[in-house]
Homo-oligomer: A and B are copies of this chain.
Amino acid sequence: MGKVLMKGNEAIGEAAVRAGCLNYFAYPITPQSEVAEYLVRRLPEVDGVFLQGESEVAVSYMILGAAAAGARVFTTSSSPGISLMSEGISYMAGMQVPAVFVNIMRGGPGLGGILPSQADYLQATKGIGHGDCRMLVMAPASVQEAVEMTMMAFTLAEKYRNPVMILGDGLIGQMMEPVEFADDFSAQPSDKSDWAVNGMDTRKSDQRNLVRSLYLDPEALNQHNLLLKEKYERMQREDVRFEAYNTDTQYKVLIVSYGTMSRVCRTAIDQLKEQGLEVGLIRPQTVYPFPHEAILKAASKKSCKSVVSIEMSMGQMVEDVQRSVQGHMPVQWYGKCGGEVPTPEEVIAFVESMV
């Protein structure tokens, strides 16, 4: 199949279908409602189900139920809607059930605005729910990458039996780009007969499975949390993803940036190169687990004098960059949060102010 021109939100919907996810439960919110609009027509063609919940709280528990029963299932929402799902996500992490959450971030806090933002970084990577609860979080920088990450998300969710989030900004959802779907995608749902609840359907299994997050015995709950911790550490070992740009030069400044913001940074880097200033870029593709080692290594290059986290948020990822760099050099933040993406010129001006 060749390339087709698709809006990001629609491409995400199609990607889920290609990944064999036939269950989509959601509640509409700008700027991601096109996913629902696309899937309400597309899912019936493949005998799938789209169901609009009464609220995002309801959606999160519909997701939990389907996931606990072993189905591939996902939802899409935007910032306030994700907050409403945070209890449910914590339950899913505790119950170890796989599911995919797409957050097409808008400006916040509260109602905020409907334009693009990256202001849910800390929520997604640190505090999505109560308890020692983590999601694997991927952040696409193009529609093509949104497609690939969405498809991969189902596989990773099942690998870890854990919620996985696609953290996109409004631009990813709204812009149109040519996109290609892999012909040979074969990551169909894994066998879940050893743990998924089956209603004691003896055609499926003789075994009575139970998923739960309740452990009244403190020793059992501690063991359970050690197991989760080990799982989170395994993500760090096996599934960190990032992209480096212009890092084979003697760059003086290292930018860390993700999502569509990173594309602006690339343009700025290209222009700065023409002006004689080399700047490197590390773009985290997974923001949890975070590419700490790659950033430390890139920041440790002799030529590199300082590091900057460029975000469409008010200083969020910069905390992780600081942890990566471990005090070897100053780490600065530059960003905006309101819906306007900083321009290449603004990025250039800030980087020049650093050197």
Chain A residues within 8 Å of B, Cβ to Cβ: 47, 49, 51, 54, 57-58, 79-80, 82-84, 86-87, 90-95, 105, 107-115, 117, 119-120, 122-133, 212-226, 228-229, 313-316, 319, 322-323, 325-328, 336-340
Contact = CB atoms under 8 A, between A and B. Distances in A.
A108 B132 contact: yes
Given A109-B90, A123-B127, A58 B47 contact: no
B130 A80 contact: yes
Number of copies of this chain that the complex holds: 4
Contacts of A122: 126-127
13 contacts: A49-B49, A83-B130, A91-B111, A92-B110, A108-B129, A108-B130, A112-B131, A126-B127, A132-B315, A218-B340, A222-B336, A229-B315, A326-B327
B338 A221 contact: yes
Contacts of A127: 122-128
Contact of A338 (B124, B129, B218): B218
A215 to B, nearest CB: 6
A147 B100 CA distance: 42
A119 B126 CA distance: 12
B84 A87 contact: yes
Nearest to A65: B52
A128 B126 CA distance: 9
A336 B226 CA distance: 8
The winner among A114, A128, A129 for most chain B CB atoms within 10 A is: A129
A340 B217 CA distance: 9
A79 to B, nearest CB: 4
Nearest to A127: B127
A167 to B, nearest CB: 11
A42 to B, nearest CB: 14
Contacts of A337: 132, 221-222, 225
Contacts of A219: 338, 340
A112 B130 CA distance: 10
Contacts of A95: 110
A338 B54 contact: no
A338 B216 contact: no
A115 B225 CA distance: 14
Contacts of A130: 79-80, 82-83, 105, 108-109, 119-120, 123
